[in-house]
Amino acid sequence: MTMAQGASVRALASRINASVVREGLSLETVLRQSKTPSPRDASLLRALCFGALRWHHRLQWQANQLLTRPLKRGDAELAALIRVGLYQLQWLRVPDHAAVAASVGAAECLGRASAKGLVNAVLRRFLREGQELNRRMAGVSEAVTSHPGWMLERLKTEWPAKWREIVASNNEPPPMWLRVNARRTTTGQYLATLSEAGIAGQSAEEPSSAVLLAEAQAMSTLPGFAEGHVSVQDAAAQLAAGLLNLKPSMRVLDACAAPGGKSAHILESCPEINELVAVDRDADRLAVVDAEFERLWLTGTLIHGDAAAPAEWWDERPFDRILVDAPCSALGVIRRHPDIKVLRRAEDIGRSATAQRSLLRGLWPLLAPGGRLLYSTCTTSREENQKQIQLLIEEAPAIHRPVATIGTSRQILPGEANMDGFYYAWVEKAE
């Protein structure tokens, strides 16, 4: 990579970072909308984007200490460039002189040639004073953990014995899990296929469909991916199909289906079910579900609609199983989406909880007598998890029939058995 290319990639990473921090856009959204660099540069771009957001709070604290005066409000891209530069000096295997030079060049790519001296001075000062700076940082919990204060306090309150482990896991790059399509191959056969391709992987104790790769791979390089033999999905997300206790001839609803991984796994796990109905209110995301079904050779009924307002789309035929994979604060998947630490706010927890309650109240009448509803989220927040199930149990008799059986809930914390943070609980309706 030439110096000019290195500068260009760092400039793009800074623009993306600034868009996330300043405009509140998700990292994946901005990456999709950005001009894709060459394949050779794409991995560096993702490393810079994800890393600078994963360590945002630490990097911002360091930058504040190193700057002689605060940057102006309109200097969002310049501020992002300094954070990107500090990130690469601490975590990337790039020679210090090359990292500094490329970052200085990036200032010119951003149209800020006048700031080249500032970028150079800040990064070189870090190289001289970094050790002392990090000693001073020891008493600043937001910087040490790279988590916002409100999130740290919630984790400490809800998980007093585990919060340090959760924080550490959140700051690690995520592993890559695959889900083997039981309709096309077996886990053992696919592991053998991976081995032949020179890709190391191992099966999991649960679920039986899961394969953990030793190193992340581009989906296009996975053998059998295009043919529908395998999908990318965290092992924790793969638990849903088993917890539904599927049987032939059942009618199943996935109420918040996009992007379709759990819907597909339901069809892969029990091809004999009568019908799988996948509902989502986002038409573009529902199109992703459709494309995923086509790749996996699966058939389901896709409905564009609001799961919380079933009167708009329900045909009044009850479902034997309902999966409510509810929208949530996503605090359990921060390692996959580090921008959550920047984008999420404390008040978002309450908003999510209100929406989840509406979903459960609206969907409970659609469940057949003797049927099972499985509630899941990818968060660690008790307000969005245990509290929602308790409210459903209390309100169910007044909504439509009482609860017959309360399934044991399970909270998977981030990093547990290499899985993402997930919550599951199921309830069954009285006959």
Report the 3 state secondary structure along 226-261.
Answer: CCCCEEECCCCCCHHHHHCCCCCCCEEEECCCCCCH
Show the tokens assigned to 288.
């992703």
Structure confidence at residue 39 as a pLDDT band (50, 70, 90):
confident
Task: Check residue 3 and give its pLDDT.
Answer: 65
Do residues 209 and 233 lie in contact, with contact meaning Cβ atoms separated by under 8 Å? Answer: no
Q: Per-residue pLDDT for 74 more than 80? A: yes
Residue 414: which of 236, 212, 148 has the closest Cα? 236
Task: Provide the residue ranges of all domains of the chain, joining segments of one domain with +.
Answer: 3-146, 177-232, 239-429
Residue 417 CA to residue 85 CA, distance in Å, equals 33
Q: Is the pLDDT of residue 37 over 80?
A: no
DSSP-derived letter for residue 327 is: -
Cα torsion 276, 277, 279, 283: sign: positive
Instruction: Please write the tens of the pLDDT for every residue from 308-361.
Output: 999 999 999 999 999 999 999 999 999 999 999 999 999 999 999 999 999 999
| 378 catalytic per annotation | yes
Residue closest to 391 by CA, chosen among 356, 339, 345: 356
Which amino acid appears at position 368 of this protein? A
User: What whole-number distance in Å separates Cα of residue 15 and Cα of residue 75?
Assistant: 11
Q: What pLDDT score does 260 carry?
A: 96
Q: What is the mean pLDDT of residues 141-169?
A: 98
pLDDT cut 90: percent of the chain above it: 91
Instruction: State the pLDDT at residue 146.
Output: 98
Least confident of 105-119, 166-180, 280-294, 391-405: 391-405
pLDDT band at 390; cut points 50, 70, 90: very high
Decide if pLDDT at 196 tops 90: yes
Q: pLDDT band at 374, cuts 50/70/90? A: very high
Instruction: Output Rg (C-alpha) for the chain, integer angstroms.
Output: 24
pLDDT at 281 over 90: yes
Tell me, what's the pLDDT at 85? 97
Question: Which tokens hold the place of 419?
Answer: 């899985």
One-letter identity of residue 94: V
Q: Which residue has the higher pLDDT, 5 or 370?
A: 370
Q: Indicate if the pLDDT at residue 173 is higher than 80.
A: yes
pLDDT digits (tens, 9 = 90+) for 234-245: 999 999 999 999
Question: What are the CA-CA distances from residue 200 to residues 29, 194, 224, 418 (Å)?
Answer: 30, 7, 15, 16
Determine the pLDDT at residue 401. 87
Q: What is residue 1's predicted lDDT score, i.e. its pLDDT?
A: 61
SS3 425: strand
Which residue is catalytic, options 49, 256, 328, 378? 378
Nearest 10 degrees: Cα torsion 247, 248, 251, 253: 50
Cross-strand pairs, 324? 375
The predicted pLDDT at position 36 comes to 72
How many residues are recorded in the chain? 431
What is 3-146's CATH topology? N-utilizing Substance Protein B Homolog; Chain A (1.10.940)
The helix/strand/coil state of 379 is coil
Q: For the residues 197-220, what does the mean pLDDT come to?
A: 95
Cβ atoms within 10 Å of 80's Cβ, excluding its own: 28
Q: Residue 7's CB: how many other CB atoms inside 10 A?
A: 20
* pLDDT score for 4: 67
Per residue in 118-127, pLDDT tens? 999 999 999 9
- CA dihedral sign of residues 376, 378, 380, 381: negative
The CA-atom distances, in angstroms, between 128 and each of 55, 132, 133, 391 are 21, 9, 10, 56
Preceding omega of 271 cis (within 30 degrees of 0): no
pLDDT at 179 over 90: yes
Rounded mean pLDDT, 65-76: 92
Average of per-residue pLDDT values in the chain: 95
- Give the CB-side neighbour count of residue 397, counting CA atoms within 13 A: 4
Task: Please compute the mean of the pLDDT values over residues 20-25 and round it to a whole number.
Answer: 94
What's the fold here for domain 239-429? Rossmann fold (3.40.50)
- Yes or no: say if 261 and 289 are a contact pair by the CB < 8 Å rule: no
Structural fold of domain 177-232 = Alpha-Beta Plaits (3.30.70)
